[in-house]
Amino acid sequence: MKELGYGDINDDVLNAMRPPRLPYLIAVACLAAVVGYAALVLLYQIQNGIGVTGLNRPVGWATYITNFVFWVGIAHSGTLISAILYLLRANWREPVSRASEAMTIFAVMTAGLFPLIHLGRLWVFYYIIPYPSQRQLWPNFLSPLVWDVCAVGTYFTVSLIFWSVGMIPDLAAARDRYEEALGPDHIRTRIFRILSLGWTGSGTQWLHYNRSYLYFAALATPLVISVHSVVSWDFAVSLLPGWHSTIFPPYFVAGAIHSGLAMVLTLLIPMRKLLHLERIITLHHFEMIAKTIVLTASIVGYAYAAEAFIAWYSGDRFEWQLYHWRSTGSPAWLYWMIIPLNVLIPWMFVFKKIRTSYVWLFCISLLINVGMWLERLFLIFTSLAHDFLPHNWGSYAPTWVEVSITIGSFSFFFLWFFGFSKFLPTVPIAELKTKISEMQMRSSEECAMRVSPGKSHLAHSSVLAVFSHAGDMLEAVKAACGHGFTIMEVFSPTKLEEVEKVMARPKSPVRFWTLAGAIAGMAGGFWLAIGTALVNSLIVGGKQPVSLIPYCVIAFEGTVLLGSLANLCGLVLHAGLFKYRLPSFYDRRFSRDRFGLLVNCDIHDQERLQKLLSTTRPEEMHVSR
Amino acid sequence: MISRRSFCKKAMIAAGGIMIPLAALEVFNPQRLAAEKDGTGKVRWVFLVDIHKCVGCGFCVKACKTENEVPYEANVTRTWVERYVVTKTGKTHIDSPKGARDGFTSQKIDQAHHGLLEVKEEEIAKAFFVPKLCNQCENPACVQVCPVGATYQAADGVVLIDRSWCIGCGYCVMGCPYGVRFFHPVYHVAEKCNFCYHRLAKGMKSACVDACPFGARKIGNIRDPEDPVTKIITTEQVNVLKEEFGTKPQVFYIGLSREVK
**Residue A353 belongs to domain with CATH number:** 1.20.1630.10
- Is the pLDDT at A458 greater than 60, yes or no? no
**φ, ψ at A486 (rounded to 5°):** -115, -5
Inter-chain CB proximity A542 and B75 less than 8 Å: no
Domain ranges for chain B, please list them.
141-191
A130 shares contact with chain B (CB less than 8 Å):
no
Determine the pLDDT at residue A140. Answer: 87
In terms of domains, do A137 and A152 share one?
Answer: yes
Q: Are A200 and A490 in contact (CB under 8 A)?
A: no
Lowest mean pLDDT among A543-547, A565-569, B175-179: A543-547
Inter-chain CB proximity B170 and A118 less than 8 Å: yes
Owning domain of residue A389: 20-432
Inter-chain CB proximity A541 and B143 less than 8 Å: yes
- Is the pLDDT at B34 greater than 70, yes or no? no
Mean pLDDT of B182-208: 94
Determine the pLDDT at residue B24. Answer: 60
Work out the mean pLDDT of chain B and round it to a whole number: 88
Percent of chain A with pLDDT over 70: 97
Residue of A133, A386, A534, A540 for testing the chain B interface, max B β-carbons within 10 Å: A540
Q: How confident is the model at residue B27 (pLDDT cuts 50, 70, 90)?
A: low
A511 shares contact with chain B (CB less than 8 Å):
no
In terms of domains, do A463 and A368 share one?
Answer: no
Determine the pLDDT at residue A496. Answer: 85
Q: How confident is the model at residue A464 (pLDDT cuts 50, 70, 90)?
A: confident
Residue of A396, A539, A548 for testing the chain B interface, max B β-carbons within 10 Å: A539
Among residues A321, A266, A327, which one has the least CA distance to residue A77?
A266
A52 shares contact with chain B (CB less than 8 Å):
no
Determine the pLDDT at residue A541. Answer: 61
Coil, strand or helix: which one is A620? strand
Q: How confident is the model at residue B33 (pLDDT cuts 50, 70, 90)?
A: very low
Q: Are A145 and A550 in contact (CB under 8 A)?
A: no
Inter-chain CB proximity B144 and A541 less than 8 Å: yes
Which B-chain residues 81-140 have CB contacts (< 8 A) with chain A?
82, 94-96, 110, 112-113, 138-140
| Count of CB pairs separated by less than 8 Å, A with B | 158
Q: Are A497 and A443 in contact (CB under 8 A)?
A: no
Q: How confident is the model at residue A534 (pLDDT cuts 50, 70, 90)?
A: confident
> 3-class secondary structure for A326-349?
HHHCCCHHHHHHHHHHHHHCHHHH
What are A104-161's pLDDT values in tens digits? 999 999 999 999 999 989 998 988 888 877 767 788 888 899 999 999 999 999 999 9
Chain B positions in Cβ-Cβ contact with residue A542 (cut-off 8 Å): 33-35, 138-139, 144, 246-248
In terms of domains, do A483 and A548 share one?
Answer: no
A135 shares contact with chain B (CB less than 8 Å):
yes
Q: How confident is the model at residue A233 (pLDDT cuts 50, 70, 90)?
A: very high
The residue that leads in pLDDT, A447 or B9, is: B9
Q: How many domains does chain A have?
A: 3
Chain A positions in Cβ-Cβ contact with residue B113 (cut-off 8 Å): 394-395
Instruction: Enter the DSSP assignment of A447.
Output: P
What are B50-95's pLDDT values in tens digits? 999 999 999 999 999 999 989 999 889 999 999 999 999 989 999 9
Q: Is residue A13 part of a domain?
A: no
Lowest mean pLDDT among A161-175, A509-523, B34-48, B125-139: B34-48
Determine the pLDDT at residue B101. Answer: 92
C-alpha span between B93 and B85 (Å, rounded): 5
Q: From A56, which residue of chain B is nearest by alpha-carbon distance? A: B183
Question: Which among A574, A597, A616 is the end of a domain?
Answer: A574
Q: Is residue A294 part of a domain?
A: yes
Q: Is residue A15 part of a domain?
A: no
Distance from CA of B84 to the nearest CA of A (A): 10
Q: Which amino acid is at A35?
A: V
Distance from CA of B64 to the nearest CA of A (A): 18
Chain A positions in Cβ-Cβ contact with residue B28 (cut-off 8 Å): 549
Residues 6+ apart with CB under 8 A from B153: A538, A539, B140, B143, B159, B160
Among residues A271, A281, A296, which one has the least CA distance to residue A349?
A296
**Residue A602 belongs to domain with CATH number:** 3.30.70
Determine the pLDDT at residue A523. Answer: 95
Q: How confident is the model at residue B26 (pLDDT cuts 50, 70, 90)?
A: low
Question: Which among A407, A432, A457 is the end of a domain?
Answer: A432
Percent of chain B with pLDDT over 90: 58
A507 shares contact with chain B (CB less than 8 Å):
no
What would you measure as the largest C-alpha separation in chain B, in angstroms?
Answer: 87
Chain B positions in Cβ-Cβ contact with residue A538 (cut-off 8 Å): 143, 149, 152-153
Query: For the whole model, what pTM was predicted?
Result: 0.91
C-alpha span between A406 and A377 (Å, rounded): 12
Q: From A60, which residue of chain B is nearest by alpha-carbon distance? A: B170
Work out the mean pLDDT of chain A and round it to a whole number: 88
Q: Are A54 and A396 in contact (CB under 8 A)?
A: yes
Kindly provide the ipTM of the predicted complex, given to two decimals.
Answer: 0.85
C-alpha span between A484 and B51 (Å, rounded): 98
A335-357 burial string, b = 16+ CB within 10 Å, else e? bebbbebbbebbbebeeeebbee
C-alpha span between A355 and A134 (Å, rounded): 59
| Range B141-191 classified under CATH 3.30.70.20 | yes
Q: How confident is the model at residue A460 (pLDDT cuts 50, 70, 90)?
A: low
Question: Can you say whether residue B93 is alpha, beta or left, with left for phi > 0 and alpha for psi between -120 and 50 degrees?
Answer: beta
Q: Is residue A3 part of a domain?
A: no
Distance from CA of B51 to the nearest CA of A (A): 17
Q: Is residue A10 part of a domain?
A: no
Inter-chain CB proximity B188 and A145 less than 8 Å: no
Among residues A471, A479, A501, which one has the least CA distance to residue A614?
A479
Chain B positions in Cβ-Cβ contact with residue A129 (cut-off 8 Å): none
Q: From A380, which residue of chain B is nearest by alpha-carbon distance? A: B174
Among residues A495, A493, A506, A492, which one has the least CA distance to residue A451?
A506
In terms of domains, do A120 and A92 share one?
Answer: yes
C-alpha span between B261 and B257 (Å, rounded): 9
The residue that leads in pLDDT, A553 or A549, is: A553
- Is the pLDDT at A426 greater than 80, yes or no? yes
What are A550-579's pLDDT values in tens digits? 899 999 999 999 999 999 999 999 988 888
Q: Are B10 and B215 in contact (CB under 8 A)?
A: no
Q: Is residue A1 part of a domain?
A: no
> Could you tell me how many residues make up chain A?
625
Determine the pLDDT at residue A134. Answer: 72
In terms of domains, do A410 and A544 share one?
Answer: no
B178 shares contact with chain A (CB less than 8 Å):
yes
Q: From A116, which residue of chain B is nearest by alpha-carbon distance? A: B169
Chain A positions in Cβ-Cβ contact with residue B246 (cut-off 8 Å): 542
Inter-chain CB proximity A119 and B145 less than 8 Å: no
B174-201 burial string, b = 16+ CB within 10 Å, else e? bbbbbbbbbbbbebbbbbbbbbbbebbe
Inter-chain CB proximity A547 and B33 less than 8 Å: yes
Determine the pLDDT at residue A440. Answer: 81
- Is the pLDDT at A522 greater than 90, yes or no? yes
A142 shares contact with chain B (CB less than 8 Å):
yes
**φ, ψ at B116 (rounded to 5°):** -100, 145
Q: Is residue A11 part of a domain?
A: no
Determine the pLDDT at residue A404. Answer: 96
Residue of A125, A386, A391 for testing the chain B interface, max B β-carbons within 10 Å: A391
Inter-chain CB proximity B145 and A237 less than 8 Å: yes
Inter-chain CB proximity A49 and B188 less than 8 Å: yes
In terms of domains, do A60 and A162 share one?
Answer: yes
